Amino acid sequence: MEKAALLRSISCSTLACNRFFFRYSNRLSRSAASFSSSVSRSHHRSFGTLTRRSVLRRHWRLLPASSIPSTRCFCSLAPKAIATSPEQASPDFVSTEDDFAEKYGFEKVSEQFIQECKSKAVLYKHKKTGAEVMSVSNDDENKVFGVVFRTPPWKDSTGIPHILEHSVLCGSRKYPLKEPFVELLKGSLHTFLNAFTYPDRTCYPVASTNTKDFYNLVDVYLDAVFFPKCVEDFQTFQQEGWHYELNNPSEDISYKGVVFNEMKGVYSQPDNILGRTAQQALFPDNAYGVDSGGDPNVIPKLTFEEFKEFHQKYYHPGNARIWFYGDDDPNERLRILSEYLDLFDTSPASRESRVEPQKLFSKPVRIVEKYPAGEGGDLKKKHMVCLNWVLSDKPLDLETELALGFLDHLMLGTPASPLRKILLESGLGEAIVGGGMEDDLLQPQFSIGLKGVSDDDIPRVEELVMTTLKSLAEEGFDSEAVEASMNTIEFSLRENNTGSFPRGLSLMLRSIGKWIYDMDPFEPLKYEKPLMDLKARIAEEGSKAVFSPLIEKYILNNPHCVTVEMQPDPEKASRDEAAEREILKKVKAGMTEEDLAELARATQELRLKQETPDPPEALKSVPGLSLLDIPKEPIHVPTEIGVINDVKVLQHNLFTNDVLYTEIVFDMSSLKQNLLPLVPLFWFQTVCAIIAQGQNLNHCYSHHLQLILPELNLNFTFLYCFVGSIVLVNFLIVGSQSLMEMGTKELDFVQLNQLIGRKTGGISVYPFTSSVRGKEDPCRHIIVRGKAMAGHAEDLFNLVNCILQEVQFTDQQRFKQFVSQSKARMESRLRGSGHGIAAARMDAKLNTAGWIAEQMGGVSYLEFLQALEKKVDQDWIGISSSLEEIRKSLLSRKGCLINMTSEGKNLTNSEKYVSKFLDLLPSSSPVEKTTWNARLSSENEAILVPTQVNYVGKATNIYDTGYQLKGSAYVISKYISNTWLWDRVRVSGGAYGGFCDFDTYSGVFSFLSYRDPNLLQTLDIYDGTGDFLRQLEMDDDTLTKAIIGTIGDVDSYQLPDAKGYSSLLRYLLGVTEEERRKRREEILSTSLKDFKEFADVIEAAKHKGVVVAVASQDDVDAANKEHPNFFQVKKAL
């Protein structure tokens, strides 16, 4: 994939809306990855800072750059609900369908029409095995399949569910190659391909818009989960789980394993440690009391026999929930399933896998833990404290869940929400921790606290949380806040904008949230009635009567509370590493010479297997498409370019269900260079989960990384600009804090936020920077994004004008809070998203656009924040003046551009509001255009952080070698990621991920690794890429797969708002329709010769590349010892 513009464009909307959509939608469902990705396998990724468990419970496999458009849940006044009755299928159709079900061994349990997603849903049960199947039929071309097993971990944190989730995708009965999963990555048109491990279940979902491709994916996944090779292959267990590694009997033994190193990274992050500690303390007596992802200290206790037994016990159809969704033939679904399910008999797994509820405590519990901290700064002010409750000893009814979701949004969902506002304004901490309401497990929880707290202030934080909650219970919420929250949430539910995350998968995870606990799988899909009932109840009884009893019952009068205090310990990381070395030293001491020789032999044998390609006959077993299945033309987005008040306006006539999406673009070229680091504070930063707003993967790990993990809480947006489409993968989303949280002359920031919630779907402001191919000057803009129901278009543009022109920069203390929050987020990002930091730093050394971005979101920005925190009290007048100067430099009709996406009539009706908005803008900027031509110095650099894993990058600008862009570069870079780097960095190297990226706008080709136990060894692998390409032999089938997989990226599935936004970015970057067609033709005609020729181009990275690593002190010292002065060292924490 292509990074195409290490953009630090951070898009966004109100975090609030997202948080609710994740909570309710997911119980109304639920998911993370990490994320936390994070972010995010399910051992997925993690998401945002407000969701503390996010980073915690996900793992994904490192996928080469999955495309996740920049979409957030904006809030707005939603259309009124319309009561509908379930549609009845015709008797003839029902009879035919029932006959098919009977033929294939299924009985129909229930059938309902789900008006909320305009789908017919049928629940089947397989007679022989008891497997349950939900078949959802509608006109959505983005088809989804998923199989979910209930997999509560056994009595310890060895991580069996997570390791098994990785391992089953490493070859199966019908597909006997090393990793069919990777072959699917290489050569399918999937719109989603991953796997998640939650604390109590494991999910295997796929999606595609191509029916043939979809059924190929389904078959590979079904064979993988039911008939995996891993249960007979000890080496797969070693590779994905853990093993002792010894290259030479004279050397030290080390631990290796993909999951082992992934979890070392997770356990290096303070927020993760906090979340894990809280969950295990809240649930000491059931499955949630141990870590399904695996504790690195415990993982090496797992045996292969236990691993095999776990699969045999739980991976049975009787313990499965199977989901189909989309416009494919529902009868064909049953036929495919019957081929697998009929091979099994009944099993007691479904009874034995049930999760028992945790009994509620009779009194609160307090826990104190240490976390690894850097030596810099005042450690006394680096404490964390979080209060956590289990709300009930049994699942809640849907109306109560919905009401708690609203309450969560009211208390924490926006900057103006009282609990969030009071905690941050107290000055007792730097940023919020705790995920608020969490309902993706059997029992709902609520968590809230602060980090960056002085040790003396811990009791004050606890007291403030409780007194604020008491005050809210006694006084309630004002009517404007309730109305804004209601409209925000209702808009989100009705819009159902899940970004690139398939809507069918969002619905699956909602349904599973009940279904996995043997409850009604239809109920979570139907929000209309509980929503209408809740609105009616609030109207009749008042919001206080609805929400105050919830606060009192579930929080204030609830003794099942765990308070977790986290204390910084600068020695913890080194102690942990020393303890691991001591264990391994004892292991070696207990071995004979013969044992050591055998271990060295086994290590080489495993590596040989990992690095030996699959035989051609095995590769051919994986079903695929042909080039005849691929459209020759790029996806067309209707775009009409007009002019209003001398400003260009791009309009995209697409069906949006009466929602108007707009972007207003301002030129940033008049901004003085020294003001750049203030821009993120002018437009501030906020974190949001990224797997589209439909799912909160807080408690899961995922199979692969989806290139950049949502769970990582990054500060950048990597723009993957394929010539076919442009999609954003957001790391940490930057929004408009100073503008959104300072208030105007007439409205304080609370009133302003409430007005935005009541009238729009959300407004965000963020910088967008990128190189432009063939030009010296970079693309540098500020983008204002907003959305609203078409009937509120005037409100939307009026509010945008208010935010841009009327907000006052006068509140010194609030601004200081922004600085502290930003600093805390950047410090967190350094630990968990080191590859993002390394990528930004390398880009800043190689081009101006990268330097601009790094000033607004990299190590330079962190250093600026550290200095600014002190400067706020010393020179507030100067800072306030600088913020005002930024506004004057940016706001102008000159260089402005408007982009709108909606139905034609809405676009036409909105033109008068656009004209009025433009009339209010200054005609030109009072500041002259400036030239920025700065870069960081090009020496190799190591950023030191307290971590157990590394993030290793190397990059060069291949345009400097004379290389001229061809579409084949897209195919080649993706192939390098999916083969050479996957095999060497991840599989045999033990990192969680390794990938390369080519920014075709700047020419920067970069290599990156994620949660990597190595440093110099990984750089050697990068340097071997040219030889890999020269020696590459590739048959026609392999080449076809590589081409098709690249087209899948180019044609990534997008909802209408993302299509309009992609078209805007192409316009800004000068990508014409002619170029898109040309690049597509070049992709489709890629040959082995192109790979060979690219080898010489990539050699520039070996000889002229710049290296940046985010790594531990020990590993950097070892590298500099082996290669003196290789790294210039920078301490960031």
Task: Tell me if 829 sits within 8 A of 712, measured CB to CB.
Answer: yes
Cβ neighbours of 679 (radius 10 Å)? 26
Dist CA 273 CA 267 (whole Å): 6
Residue 1080: exposure state from Cβ atoms within 10 A (0-12, 13-18, ≥19) = buried
Of 741, 408, 742, 747, whose CA–CA distance to 550 is shortest? 408
Cβ neighbours of 941 (radius 10 Å)? 22
The H or E element that residue 660 is part of is strand 659-667
430 among known catalytic residues:
no
Q: Which two tokens stand for residue 503?
A: 């809507």
Residue 186: exposure state from Cβ atoms within 10 A (0-12, 13-18, ≥19) = buried
- HSE of 794 in the Cβ direction (CA atoms, 13 Å)? 4
Q: Which two tokens stand for residue 744?
A: 């105007």
Contacts of 137 (CB under 8 A, 6+ apart): 119, 120, 121, 122, 326, 327, 330
Task: Tell me if 812 sits within 8 A of 876, measured CB to CB.
Answer: yes
The H or E element that residue 727 is part of is strand 726-730
Strands 659-667 and 897-902: antiparallel
Helix (H, G, I), strand (E, B), or coil: what is residue 197? strand
Of 313, 321, 320, whose CA–CA distance to 352 is shortest? 313
Helices 859-874 and 876-890, interaxial angle, to 10°? 130
Dist CA 414 CA 50 (whole Å): 11
The H-assigned helical ranges of 612-648 are 616-619
Dist CA 376 CA 1132 (whole Å): 8
Q: Which residues of 957-988 are buried (b: 16+ CB within 10 A; e: fewer)?
A: bbbebebebbbbbbbbbbbbbbbbbbbbbbbb
Contacts of 984 (CB under 8 A, 6+ apart): 611, 994, 1021, 1024
User: Which CA distances in Å does 90 have to 104, 110, 114?
Assistant: 22, 16, 17
Dist CA 418 CA 465 (whole Å): 11
Catalogue the E-assigned strands of 854-965. Answer: 897-902, 941-944, 951-957
The H or E element that residue 1056 is part of is helix 1056-1068
Strands 431-438 and 445-453: antiparallel
Catalytic residue among 240, 438, 490, 523: 240
Catalytic residue among 111, 116, 132, 165: 165
Which single residue is written with the structure tokens 């941050």? 424
Task: Tell me if 158 sits within 8 A of 299, measured CB to CB.
Answer: yes
165 among known catalytic residues:
yes
Dist CA 416 CA 752 (whole Å): 9
Of 1043, 858, 887, 1075, whose CA–CA distance to 969 is shortest? 1043
Task: Report CA 1044 to chain centroid distance, whole Å.
Answer: 25
Type of residue found at 650: L
Helix (H, G, I), strand (E, B), or coil: what is residue 148? strand
Of 277, 469, 264, 285, whose CA–CA distance to 385 is shortest? 277
Q: Which two tokens stand for residue 916?
A: 């009025």
Q: Which two tokens stand for residue 120?
A: 């017919």
The H-assigned helical ranges of 203-257 are 211-226, 234-240
Type of residue found at 894: K
The H-assigned helical ranges of 323-371 are 330-341, 349-352
Active site residues: 165, 240
